[in-house]
């Protein structure tokens, strides 16, 4: 995944950080890429599956009365951001480094904004998603990647230069 400079954090993430400062503080000069052992791989699959099954899909409008609101799921429902935040939280709790667990904004098959969790590993970046059940390498997803959290600071974001010819472009025709 090629980065192309700084990007503005999504408004929902900015609000999330103001309401959950401990989740967005800190950073590192030496971001970590996780060695993907069989145990770590199985942990990713288990967290992705567990969170996907635990949260009922509902829009922010239905839940909070606003178009975009990022928060941890508290009532067993949420949209893509709640899935991503919970997966990130569970993996950090399990000992994964935050610098390897990056909230990522993509364009989905409907060309709409969607959030997924990018996990940086020694075997490449993989994606945990609520729309696709399996954990996939980023380049195997049907999404166009737009931006993600910076590896050095959870409050900063980086633009992604996704120049692949994607399924997203070809399905719309």
Summarize pLDDT for 59-81 with one digit per residue, the tens: 999 999 998 999 999 889 999 99
Determine the pLDDT at residue 164.
76
Q: What is the DSSP string of the chain?
A: --EEEEEPPPHHHHHHHHH-HHHH----SS---B---HHHHHHHHHHHHHHHHHSEE--HHHHHSSS------SSSEE-HHHHHHHHHHHHHHTT--GGGEEEEEEE-TTS-EEEEEEEEETTEEEEE-SSSSS-EEGGGSSPEEEEEE-SS-TT-EEEE---S--HHHHHT-
- The predicted pLDDT at position 28 comes to 84
Q: Which domains does the chain have, with CATH numbers?
A: 3-171 (3.10.620)
pLDDT for residue 166: 54
What pLDDT score was predicted for residue 171? 47
Looking at residue 3, its pLDDT comes to 76
Higher pLDDT, 8 or 27: 8
- Which pLDDT score is estimated for 68? 92
How confident is the model at residue 10, as a pLDDT?
A: 94
* pLDDT of the residue at 162: 83
Q: What is the average per-residue pLDDT within 101-105?
A: 96
Average pLDDT over the chain reads: 91
Closest CA to 168 of 148, 136, 146: 146
Residues 85 and 93 sit within 8 Å (Cβ to Cβ): no
pLDDT digits (tens, 9 = 90+) for 116-170: 999 999 999 999 999 999 999 999 999 999 999 999 999 999 999 887 765 554 4
pTM across the whole model: 0.91
């Amino acid at each position: 995944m090629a980065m192309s400079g700084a990007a503005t954090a999504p408004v929902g993430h900015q609000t999330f950080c103001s309401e959950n400062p401990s989740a967005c503080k800190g950073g590192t000069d030496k971001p970590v890429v996780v060695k993907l052992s069989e145990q770590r791989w199985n942990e990713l699959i288990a967290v992705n599956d567990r969170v996907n099954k635990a949260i009922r899909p509902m829009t922010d409008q239905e839940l909070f009365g606003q178009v975009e609101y990022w928060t941890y799921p508290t009532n067993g429902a949420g949209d893509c951001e709640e899935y991503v935040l919970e997966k990130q939280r569970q993996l950090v709790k399990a000992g994964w480094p935050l610098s390897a667990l990056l909230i990522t904004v993509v364009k989905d098959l409907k060309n709409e904004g969607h959030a997924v969790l990018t996990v940086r590993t020694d075997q490449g970046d993989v994606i945990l998603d609520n729309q696709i059940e399996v954990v996939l390498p980023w380049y195997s997803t049907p999404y166009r990647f737009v931006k993600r959290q910076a590896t050095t600071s959870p409050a900063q974001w980086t633009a992604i230069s996704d120049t692949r010819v994607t399924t997203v472009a070809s399905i719309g025709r």
